[in-house]
Amino acid sequence: MNFLNKLAAVGLAVLLASPALAETQTISQAGKKFSERKITVKVGDTVTFLNDDETTHNVHSATDGHVFDLGAQAPGESLSHTFDTVGDVKVRCAIHPKMKVTVQVVE
């Protein structure tokens, strides 16, 4: 095997052994609603919550094993959360309880 073939083989092995890169998805908030009712992400993926509304929001989850609170989010602000555990996560706005989105986290 010549040098270039060996180099290509090593490069392919490294590429195949590398873990998949995490992704980021964006959910906007407008009209006191999330843009999605349900999304699916993989473990390690990040969801960015973009406040496209004219009012402050507070994105959080009280789901067992997935508790988080992004705090007050002013209009125009983006806040993110990385999901690192498999399961269905019920995400809400603490200020507007009718705002709901389910984030299904899979392997």
| pLDDT tens by residue, 63-96 | 999 999 999 999 999 999 999 999 999 999 999 9
Q: 68-73 and 78-82 as β-strands: parallel, antiparallel, unpaired?
A: unpaired
- Quote helix, strand, coil % in the chain, to nearest 5: 15, 45, 40
- Bigger pLDDT: 15 or 61? 61
pLDDT above 60 for 17: no
Confidence tier at 22 by pLDDT (50, 70, 90): confident
- Supply the mean pLDDT for the chain: 89
pLDDT above 60 for 15: no
- Architecture label for domain 23-106: Sandwich (2.60)
How far is Cα 92 from Cα 77, in angstroms, rounded to an integer? 17
Other Cβ atoms closer than 10 A to 59: 26
Average pLDDT value for residue range 6-12: 55
Q: Would you mind telling me the total number of residues written for the chain in this entry?
A: 107
Confidence tier at 18 by pLDDT (50, 70, 90): very low
How far is Cα 94 from Cα 99, in angstroms, rounded to an integer? 9
- Collapse the DSSP code of 42 into the 3-class scheme (helix H, G, I; strand E, B; otherwise coil) and give the result: strand
Domain boundaries, the chain: 23-106
